[in-house]
Amino acid sequence: MLRMATLSILLAICAWSIIGCGGPSNEEIAVKTAQQWVDSSIGQVSDAVVELVAGEYPALAGIASAVVADQVRDNLEWEYSTPQREDDDRYSLTATATAEIQVQVPLLGSQDYSASMPFNLVVDTNERTVVSWSPNLVGASIERQ
């Protein structure tokens, strides 16, 4: 009888520790959800980066917008900030897209640029979805290399 009670207690403790420690944290869920949003929203994201390039260097817009768009899509790299809790299941974080591009400009030849644009995201960790996003234009940059 004592063995059975001890065994039951040990099994309950093991089950509790597995259930309590097994899942990802809300911060991990927020970053994973942001990564999935990036993957499914690549067209919108790359368009925003292309607009940044065209706005900073208008000559590039007409010359090679398709080339720029393709390079942005192919060369995007992402960094994610640490999620900040906004509400029970809402976390905000910044996903920053950076792309290195090269454009052939008439009379100037090959020109290298680095474009970076942060996106402010709000993630619902319960629903595992991005509920709002916006490009952070103040943090955006483009530099000629």
Model pTM greater than 0.75?
A: no
Q: Is 108 helix (H, G, I), strand (E, B) or coil?
A: coil
Q: What is the pLDDT of residues 59-101, one digit of tens each?
A: 655 655 677 777 777 888 999 999 999 998 999 999 998 988 8
pLDDT of residue 44: 77
Identify the sign of the CA torsion 25, 27, 33, 38: negative
Task: Kindly list the domain boundaries of the chain, sorted by start residue.
Answer: 24-144
Q: Are the C-beta atoms of 135 and 121 separated by less than 8 Å?
A: no
Which among 38, 51, 46, 60 has a CA at the least distance from the CA of 99? 46
Residue 112 to residue 64: CA distance in whole angstroms: 13
Whether pLDDT at 15 is above 70: no
Which tens digit of pLDDT belongs to each residue from 25-70? 999 999 999 999 988 887 777 777 777 766 666 665 565 567 777 7
